[in-house]
Amino acid sequence: MTPKQTPLPLPTFIPLLVGMIAISFAPILVRYSDAPTSVQGMYRMLFTVLVMLPFGTRQLRSIRTLSSKDWLLLVLAGFFLALHFLLWMESLRFTSIASSTIILSLEPVFVMIGAYFVFKDRIGKLPLIGLFVALIGAFIVGSGDVSLSAEAFKGDLLSLLGTLAVVVNVLLAKAILARVPSYLYSLIVFAVAFVCFAAYNLSVGYPMTSYPAQEWLIFVLLALVPTVLGHMIFNWLLQYVKPTTVSITVLAEPVGATLLGMLLFREMVALPQLIGGVFIIAGLLLYMRGEYLTSASAKRDSIAA
């Protein structure tokens, strides 16, 4: 998505910083809740939809233009988003915040691989090097957690599976957003994810009411802080800045969440997590640098032509 040439109404670093801090609170809020992760995810999606609804009533008319294929892709995107939240949030019950969020930050690397096979997107030399460096980092984190406990490794595996689920969601979004407005896409996908969570909770018999006030506060904060003040701010920023500027924020979640985990839960970073995290961040930086150089080269070629 190419950002419009529109001046940002405030300094770029302000919304970027707000978004970075907001997404770092997602694992912290999940940890503070005693409710099943699927119930947390259900209300996160529900309250996000309720917040979004008043701001796009005009766009709701576009629903009538959606084809059956569009609806199929939207439902699949919502299902995989729900699966992502279920697996990743559950991972925080078994492994550390640092390990879970470091593995989650591999998302753009797996998206690159998926886009290569699904959309035949070319992979440059530098992003490919970044891919291998990041995967080495993930292996270091995982192998370090195996030596700690089987539970920690189970959490790492859940985080990895959750990352793969969100990669499928992103690839589906790439196919849908060429035809469907981003607001409508987000609203429908969040609503489908809510329905998936509700169906899952009913099937396993989890209670969906009678939670104490603290839990309801956490449910609301999960919607408002990491979702609305985090991911939706990043989507808004795409109108004004380069996608690579927004993409770099993927590095903020493991760093910010790890620091908050150390402060609030006394979760100290083990050596494998530190070394693996450095490899993953270095790999992501190489990937983003390669993507930037590729887009800049393509732009020069189009101007020359």
In a domain, 231, yes or no: yes
**What element of type H or E holds 278?**
helix 271-304
What is the model's pTM? 0.84
pLDDT tens sequence across 134-151: 888 877 876 766 666 788
**pLDDT in the model for residue 296:** 65
**pLDDT in the model for residue 149:** 76
In a domain, 287, yes or no: no
Give mean pLDDT in consecutive 10-residue pieces for the chain, a chain of 305 residues. Answer: 55 82 92 96 96 84 88 96 96 90 83 80 80 81 70 91 92 85 89 97 95 96 93 74 63 79 83 82 79 66 59
Q: What would the two tokens of residue 237 be?
A: 């920023």
Say how far apart CA 174 and CA 170 lie, in whole Å.
6
**pLDDT in the model for residue 5:** 44
Number of domains forming the structure of the chain: 1
In a domain, 88, yes or no: yes
**pLDDT in the model for residue 244:** 56
pLDDT tens sequence across 27-54: 999 999 999 999 999 999 999 999 999 8
In a domain, 143, yes or no: no
In a domain, 239, yes or no: yes
Integer CA distances (angstroms), 197 to 42, 86, 280, in order: 5, 8, 31
In a domain, 25, yes or no: yes
In a domain, 23, yes or no: yes
Under 8 Å CB-to-CB from 65, ≥6 apart: which residues?
Answer: none
Say how far apart CA 268 and CA 53 lie, in whole Å.
41
Say how far apart CA 133 and CA 125 lie, in whole Å.
13
**pLDDT in the model for residue 247:** 62
Percent of the chain with pLDDT over 90: 36
The residue range of the domain holding 182 is: 13-119+158-268
**pLDDT in the model for residue 1:** 43
In a domain, 65, yes or no: yes
